Every structure is written in C-alpha cells, then in structure tokens.
Structure 1
C-alpha cells in the first residue's frame, strides 16, 4: 500500500512539472506565434534591362519581440545572378547581411548554370530591438540566354517570394508552433553552423512569383553572322598582308 501511494505521488509530481513546463513554453513562444500569424512579406522588382533590384518588405506586428532574429531565404532561378563583389562594395551602405550557398560564376550563360540560394539577415547581429518594417534591396543581374530558334526575342524569368524565418532565444520548443514548420538554416551570415527556425506558412505569402523578361538572340542568324564574320576576317587579313608585303614590313 505504501509503495502504491509513493508511486502515485511521484506520478502526480511528474505530471505537474510537465504541465508547468508546457505552460512556460507557451508563455515564451506565444508572442513568436502571434508574429508568425500577423507578419507579411511582399516583393517588387525595380529598374529595367539586365540590371534590376529586388525589394523585399517584411511587415511585423506592432508587438515586436526583443532579440528577435529574422531570416529571408531567396531561391533564385538560373536566369539571374548576384555579384558578390558588388555586394561587398555596398556592405557599408546596407543594414543587412547576406550569405550565398555556393560560388557564383559571373560569366556562365543561363543554360549552363543552375539556381542558387541566399540567406538574408535584415538586421545586424544582436540588435536591441527589431524594427517593425524591414526592407531589403538586392541588386540582381540577368544572364545571357541561349539564342531562340522559334522567333521569340524575349525570355521570361520568375522570381519567387522569399521564405520568412523567425527565431528567438527565449522560445526553444519550436515544435509547439503548429501549423508552422521548423527548419534548419544558418544561424548568422558568417557562421556555418545551423539553428532551428520557424517558417511562415506558404499560404500566408499570397504574392505570386514576380516575372520579367530578358532579350535573347535570334538563333536563325547564327550562320549568316558567323559566315559574315569569317568573310570580313579573311578580307582584313589579306588586305593587311598585302600592305605589309608592299611596304616590306616584317
């Protein structure tokens, strides 16, 4: 009888501790869940031609958490690239940091490369308080595309809206923030280690992909252009050789 009573008390004590722990987690993660339910992400593309700017705006609720970390995950198509050297030159002017998932070759045409991912941190490490509205302007550049043989002079490139990820040191039990999913992503822009982040539901990002067009070459002109270039080269070489022979230039 004594053993049964002790076991029952121990079980009740354990259940009480678990309930208290769950309530504490809900208190710490509740504000983060409210942010996820009220935050909005919008994207627009400015400028024209091969050199554009993608402007991403994140609107958080008025009750912003202290120590909140924000991450934007952009998945770029192969038709565009970001110049790392340009980003480095603009580093002092930006209030955000960026991490590239791979090395970017600036000279490769679109059909010989693949897409890439960038992790953008809209606020510096360790801000005292995150602003309610965050804006990030990323310069992008169009790659040269394969010539078209069907008469089309333009090709379309779609820019997907970024994924919004949030985290805070106070909320450690991220799995209770359903239906939002937990993903692993780099903790900071200069750190290879990963941290758990909560991702905003895709259905909350109602904006469709932003599409714009780049000009492409006319594939039917490849042979005439190559033939004309070869002919001009031969004529110039013969003329130059004749001139050098006439004036005894060796």
Structure 2
C-alpha cells in the first residue's frame, strides 16, 4: 500500500515538474522574442538650462502580460535632476524612479560626478507596447573657459533597456545580451536578474545639447571692477553720512 502511494506521489511530482519546466521554457522563448524586437529611443525637448529627456520604448509582440521593464539612465555630471520634482511626477505618472545617490542641486559641474537613475514603468502589457517616460533635467553651471569657448556640450547617453519575466529563470542562453542584477521594484530592496539589451545601445549615439560657459579671461577685470565699484559706493556713503551728521 505504501509502495503504491509513494509511486503515485512520485509520478505526480514528475508530471508537475515537467509541466512547470515546459511553461518556464515557453516564457523564456517569449522573452527572447521581446528582446529581439524591442527598441529604445531618446529625444530632447525645451531649450536652455531646463530640458526634458523623452525616452520612448517600443516593446515586442502582443501576448505577454507579465513582462517587467527597467530603464537605467547614466547621467553626466553636466546635468542634475530635482528629486522633489521627480517625486511629484512619479505620483502623477505611470512610472516610478529610483536615484542611486543624493543629488546636490547647487554645486557646479566640475565639482560633482555623474549619477544613475532607475525607471520602472508601472503598466506594461499587450495594451501598452509603446512606453514614454519624460524626465526633466537641469543643466549645471560649468567652469569658466580660458580659451575663448562660449558653449560646452553635454552628452545624454540612451538608457539601458532591461527586461525580465518572473517565470523565466533560465537566463544563461540569452547571449549576446548580458544578464545583470538590479532591484526588482522601486520599493523593494531585493534584487532580481534582468536581461540587458545590448545591440540597441550600440546602435544609438548620445543626444547632445549646448550650455553657455563664462569667459575665464574676464575674471580679473570683473573682480577688479566689482571691488572698485564697492569701494566707491562705500566712500560715497561714508561722505553722505558724515555730511549729514548721521554717524
């Protein structure tokens, strides 16, 4: 009796594992299709120091509802994002964003370094194959130029596009795409394995815009003129106060 019961349980367990493995393989095959057919593009909006980086993600074929998307932006030191502004936008949008470090809004470009943001779109599925994420960025003040240059270029690299399906755990056959580790969600401290699409990043070049820089050759005359005007105003004010017996 026990032998029969054990045999039945073993058979059911084997069938369950076989079905589960087949379903996982189907999910991995679907993920491969999405990887090969998905793309990302970047454009800039607005002018001056305050810009908008619009990232458009075109996802793969229909029929996949549990796909997870992650956009990893690696920003140069010439720009910054306002965390408070991003928090308000995330509450009104269908995406959430995570910063890898604290952002100092005041320091100039040459005294800071780049940073990374992780953008998690909230609603991805057959009805949302086209995703758009608009991130406001602000230019930092740059160090004055001593060679007569009046503008400097800031290059915005396209984000890395990462995809995953929870049921697909066999990620060792996705070459040439790399498998990387990142947070599963914006609110979770646990990490998951994501497939990073490689070839789209190689085809896309950086998107650039110009920011004005100061003329370093004018530092001495401007400082000297400012000091002279300040001293002249102090002398004139002192004479006025002495003449009217206010001191």
Report the TM-score range of the alignment, normalised by the length of the smaller protein: 0.7 to 0.9
Q: After TM superposition, give the deviation of residue 122 of structure 1 in Å.
A: 1.9
TM-score by length of 1: 0.86
Cα-to-partner distance string for 1:118-149 (whole Å, 9 max, x where unaligned)? 0001225xx67661000000000000000000
In 2, the alpha carbon distance for the partners of 1:64 and 1:241 equals 81
Q: Is the 8 A contact 2:64 2:125 kept in 1?
A: no
**Structure 2 unaligned regions, length at least 5:** 1-15
Q: Residue 228 in 1 paired to residue 220 in 2?
A: no
Q: Is the 8 A contact 1:40 1:205 kept in 2?
A: no
Q: Residue 211 in 1 paired to residue 208 in 2?
A: yes
Q: Residue 163 in 1 paired to residue 160 in 2?
A: yes
Q: Which moved more, 1:128-137 or 1:109-118?
A: 128-137
Q: After TM superposition, give the deviation of residue 179 of structure 1 in Å.
A: 2.5
1:121-160 matches, within 5 Å, as 121-123=120-122, 131-160=128-157
**Structure 1 unaligned regions, length at least 5:** 1-16
Q: After TM superposition, give the deviation of residue 50 of structure 1 in Å.
A: 0.5
Secondary structure of 1:105's counterpart equals coil
Q: After TM superposition, give the deviation of residue 28 of structure 1 in Å.
A: 2.2
Residues 64 and 242 from structure 1, CA distance in 2 versus in 1: closer, same or farther, beyond 3 angstroms? Answer: farther
Indicate the residue corresponding to 1:30 in structure 2. Answer: 29
Indicate the residue corresponding to 2:94 in structure 1. Answer: 95
Indicate the residue corresponding to 2:66 in structure 1. Answer: 67
In 1, the alpha carbon distance for the partners of 2:112 and 2:103 equals 9
Q: Which moved more, 1:147-156 or 1:166-175?
A: 166-175
Q: Residue 237 in 1 paired to residue 241 in 2?
A: no
Which aligned runs of 4 or more in structure 1 are off by greater than 4 angstroms? Answer: 17-24, 127-130
Indicate the residue corresponding to 2:175 in structure 1. Answer: 178
Q: For this pair of structures, how many residues does the alignment match?
A: 233
In 2, the alpha carbon distance for the partners of 1:174 and 1:113 equals 37
Q: Is the 8 A contact 2:55 2:134 kept in 1?
A: yes
Secondary structure of 2:55's counterpart equals strand
Q: Is the 8 A contact 1:175 1:181 kept in 2?
A: no
In 1, the alpha carbon distance for the partners of 2:55 and 2:146 equals 36
In 2, the alpha carbon distance for the partners of 1:63 and 1:89 equals 32
In 2, the alpha carbon distance for the partners of 1:129 and 1:92 equals 23
In 1, the alpha carbon distance for the partners of 2:99 and 2:141 equals 21
Indicate the residue corresponding to 2:195 in structure 1. Answer: 198
Q: Which moved more, 1:145-154 or 1:205-214?
A: 205-214
In 1, the alpha carbon distance for the partners of 2:22 and 2:185 equals 30
In 2, the alpha carbon distance for the partners of 1:200 and 1:19 equals 30
Secondary structure of 2:203's counterpart equals coil
Secondary structure of 2:153's counterpart equals strand
Indicate the residue corresponding to 1:43 in structure 2. Answer: 42
Indicate the residue corresponding to 1:52 in structure 2. Answer: 51
